[in-house]
Structure 1
Amino acid sequence: MDTDRHPEPVPAPPPAIEPDAKDWTWVVQQRCPECGFAASDVDPPGIGGTVRDLVPRWVAALHRDDARERPAPGVWSPLEYGAHVRDVMRVFDERVRLMTDQDDPLFANWDQDATAVTDRYDLQDPVVVADELAAAAAVTADRFDAVAADQWERTGRRSNGSLFTVRTLGQYFLHDVVHHLHDVRA
């Protein structure tokens, strides 16, 4: 055993990203001027299929040579956005599960910016993130596919008081996935 070896130092975190403090719930009602997505055009029973259709674009972005590179110091890399979208898939899968299993659940808080720092999105392996995103997308798509016709208007709440139905949560969720594809130019 070689005892003279020292573990590689962990690189310093990249420059902090200014936390996104915007309330994006308005995208359920209006077209997003940045990415062009119109959540109100989303047919809820088609959410699962749309999620599956978007996965190859995410996988391709995460396999690019520049996947780890930030386009600017204060902007996430495709890798960081991909890790975020993977986690979005997991969070929204859980929220839909709660909404279909419970009456008007209150969602646990999720600080996406803190998660990115704590989980060191910047150091994750883009190929692994691509695989994890695809797996999480499959589970989330199946979850949306399993929503019964009479469950689309069931409600759930964020701690800030934002009220969603399964329908509007799905529309809001899809905007996040599509918007970040726009961010990474995929």
Structure 2
Amino acid sequence: MARPENVLLPYKNYVDLVDENDIFLALEHNLAEIKELLGAIHSSKLGYAYAPGKWTVAQLLQHVIDAERIFDYRALRIARGDKTPLPNWEEDDYARMAPADHRTLADLSEEILSVRKASTLLLYSFTDDCWERTGTTSGKQVDVLTIAFLIVGHMRHHIKILRERYEIQP
């Protein structure tokens, strides 16, 4: 599937992080980036936050897991023709309530990879007409293709943060 056009904010910021024009190629490249990053994280770094009030590495990893599941749910609902507006979700509330700091790196890594596999399988299941279906999420119109690119762009955004602010380098 080719890159979406006329993407609205805030989705545009994430979609613009996807250089690939084909979503399946982007997912493949992003999976390699995820594996490389996870391999560079030392378990002693899971409790590290780069500044007071910022998420720990474990909380950030949990966030990308939670976010991807929500993006998948939104894509599924819209692809199936559900026109019910989908509300926003408060990521800081999720981070506060998730027991991320009690999890191991192996556990978080396995879940990230499992969720990405599920995302990829879901996206491969869509027919051409599914990609163009639109719905409302967080008060904004969005199509399934944009959500797919958002999945990759959101992950790339957080990989960049982990590299730059948390100083995790492959």
TM-score, normalised by the number of residues in structure 1: 0.72
Task: Check if 1:179 corresponds to 2:157.
Answer: yes
Query: Identity of aligned pairs, percent?
Result: 21
Contact 2:30 2:152 in 1 (8 A): yes
Q: 1:68-112, CA deviations, whole angstroms, 9 ceiling, x for partnerless residues?
A: 211111322221111111112211221121122124342244221
The 1-side partners of 2:157 and 2:14 are apart by: 13
**1:1-186 alignment, distance < 5 Å:** 24-27=10-13, 31=16, 37=17, 39=18, 41-158=20-137, 160-185=138-163, 186=169
Aligned length: 156
Extract unaligned runs of 5+ from structure 2. 1-8, 164-168
Q: How far did 1:25 drift?
A: 2.3
Q: Which amino acid aligns with 2:98?
A: D
Spell out structure 1 runs of 4+ moving beyond 6 A.
none
Residues 25/137 of structure 1: CA separation in 2 closer, same or farther (3 Å cut)? same
Q: Specify every segment of 5 or more residues in structure 1 that has no aligned partner in the other structure, as ranges.
A: 1-22, 32-36
TM-score, scaled relative to structure 2:
0.77
* Counterpart Cα distance in 1 of 2:21 and 2:118: 19
SS at match of 2:142: strand
- CA, structure 1 residues 48+144, in 2 after alignment: closer, same or farther (shift >3 Å)? farther
CA contact (8 A) 1:68 1:77 kept: yes
Partner Cα distance (1:28, 1:68) in 2: 26
